[in-house]
């Protein structure tokens, strides 16, 4: 049996995890949720805590249809 990391999901089931700056609401980092390993999840969360970022998770199809701006804060 394949794990979630090994199998391909249809686009309708894929979720994108986004960390966003609370000052400018720009994206800092994105990741495909089911592809995150324990190590990459911890790195993602460490960055969120260190820089006081907000997190949200949205479907891939919504992510593709939305125009986001990247964070330009220092």
- 1 pLDDT more than 80: no
> pLDDT per residue over 23-45, tens digit each?
999 999 999 999 999 999 999 99
> Residue 4: is its pLDDT beyond 80?
no
In whole angstroms, give the CA distance from residue 42 to residue 25.
Answer: 22
User: What is the C-alpha to C-alpha distance for residues 46 and 53, in angstroms, rounded to an integer?
Assistant: 10
Please give the average per-residue pLDDT across 49-63, as a whole number.
Answer: 96
The closest alpha carbon to 74, from 28, 9, 16, belongs to 28
β-sheet bridge partners, residue 46: none
CA dihedral 73→43→34→28, nearest 10 degrees, is 0
What pTM, to 2 d.p., does this model score? 0.82
Model pLDDT, residue 6: 59
């Amino acid at each position: 049996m394949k794990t979630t990391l090994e199998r391909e999901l249809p686009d309708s089931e894929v979720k994108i995890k986004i960390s966003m700056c609370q000052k400018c609401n720009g994206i800092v980092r994105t990741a495909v949720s089911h592809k995150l390993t324990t190590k990459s999840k911890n790195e993602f969360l460490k960055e969120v805590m260190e820089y006081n970022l907000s997190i949200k998770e949205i479907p891939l199809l919504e992510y593709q249809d939305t125009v986001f701006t990247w964070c330009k804060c220092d």
